[in-house]
Amino acid sequence: MILRGLYNPLYAARRTFRPARPGIVDDREVRKLQLWRTGLGLVAWVGLMVTYDAVASAADVQGVASERLDQSWSSVLVLVCTFPVVVGAFVAAARDGLRRVYLRRALRPFGSVVAIMVSMGTAALAMAPELAGLRDAVGLPGRIVIVVMCLWSVVFALYGIGLSLVHVFRTADIHEVLPPILAGVLVWEMALLDVVTGAYGQVPAGARAVFVLGAPVTVTALSCWELHRLRRHHGLTLRTALRR
């Protein structure tokens, strides 16, 4: 499996960012809805840009794609900051016997956070102009190795960003109720960030308000529905997770 991951970054990303705890609840309906939510969010975002003339040329298409990637990366960075706070509060609220269990389970989710940051750092090693001296110092063989590492890391990171947002940094490995809770916190943080930074400035105020609030409202509804399914079909609740 390790050798396969070395030459296949997509396989490595799946192993790194998908939850894989033995005995974990795997609800196919929830997974389907998460993918639909991600896809529809992208379609709605592109439609908004086209409708309000953000895309008028090939250069604009490239700019919109770059903006969408930046937004996804910003979501990951916000999630990286939110992750230890929410997980730390969850572990602290659990009964003493469960704290050690959850801390041990948190190693893989924390590892996925480190992996996404390291992969982006490796890509910077090959492209950052500030590191041109280092690339010159290692010579042609070293530059070839750096370029190969960069290409592997870019594919791994891009796929990893998508998986991290869908699986919320594999926090289901800690407990199944954590992903919907953390996803709800993340989208409201991103909505607040959009308001503070004045995102979608070319869009009329009414449409902008609907778009900015649409994502958190939709994801919150999805999170509540996911928690409902976990309680109704699998007997899992936040209270039982904390043994309160």
For residue 3, being part of any structural domain is answered with no
**Length of the chain in terms of residues written:** 244
pLDDT (tens digit per residue) in 26-84 = 778 877 776 776 666 566 555 555 555 444 444 444 555 455 556 656 667 777 788 88
Residue 170 belongs to domain spanning: 34-242
Predicted local confidence at residue 61, as pLDDT: 45
User: If pLDDT is split at 50, 70 and 90, which confidence band does 177 have?
Assistant: very high
Run of H or E residues at 52: none
For residue 7, being part of any structural domain is answered with no
For residue 21, being part of any structural domain is answered with no
For residue 112, being part of any structural domain is answered with yes
Three-state secondary structure of 85-121: HHHHHHHHHCCHHHHHHHHHHCHHHHHHHHHHHHHHH
